[in-house]
Amino acid sequence: MFVPTCEGALWWPAQKTLIVSDLHLEKGSSYAQRGQLLPPYDTASTLQMVEALAARFVPVRIISLGDSFHDRASEERLSNKDCVRIRALTAKYDWHWVEGNHDPAPPAHLGGRGTHALGIGSCVFRHEPTGAVGEIAGHLHPVVKIGGRGRSVRRKCFVTDGDSLIMPSLGTLTGGLNALDPVVAACFTSRPMHFASSGPGVRFVDRATLLPDRRGYAGGSGWRL
């Protein structure tokens, strides 16, 4: 039994394990290098969420499901203060960095253990979803667009068919892929369920209320993985 949180993390009480995905640390500084200036606070904000979740659940183990860093040079742009915060987390908890497509080799000097995939009991944790039974993955940053009363809202969501699950991104500046996108549907053998962030909790969302994105929206055909 896993407990989803409104921030986009999973808590596994039986294993005292906290799972987070797609932190994309230093995404803001990556964009700044290309001339798109964003507030340089995304790493600090994301780490604050991880620290708060760890304080709430007091895990023995923390698994970060890949794309923890936005690119291979992210470690060079980390502030000294943020490096200290990451090392404090990896020293306090049994921290596992699952390899992502953005960060196939997480920085060794920040602590923790790198792995391509991690198996615990009947569950396997990896970055890119394959639809395997017992799999918990990230990569796709699923969100739902919910319509009603003449307006719509977007919320990060967990997508599952009961056999496997795709987690949302926890990163502050990360976008999201509409959960109705064929890329998401292809990860499941049966029609999946959607559980979206809602205030302080997570709730089941009726598929009939979900809306697709208009063609060309960032969550549609132009989505970059």
Q: How many CA atoms are closer than 13 Å to the CA of 73, on its beta-carbon side?
A: 6
Asked if residue 105 has pLDDT above 90, the reply is no
Q: Which two tokens stand for residue 1?
A: 């039994």
Q: Is a pLDDT exceeding 90 seen at residue 10?
A: yes
Q: What is the pLDDT of residue 37?
A: 65
- Residue 223 pLDDT level (bands cut at 50, 70, 90): very low
pLDDT in tens, 143-184: 999 987 778 899 999 999 999 999 999 998 888 999 999 999
Residues 6+ apart with CB under 8 A from 178: 142, 143, 144, 145, 184, 212, 213, 217, 219, 220
pTM listed for this prediction: 0.91
pLDDT tens for 107-131 read 788 999 999 999 999 999 999 999 9
Q: Where is pLDDT greater, at 101 or 88? A: 88
Which has the minimum average pLDDT: 30-39, 71-80, 145-154, 169-178?
30-39
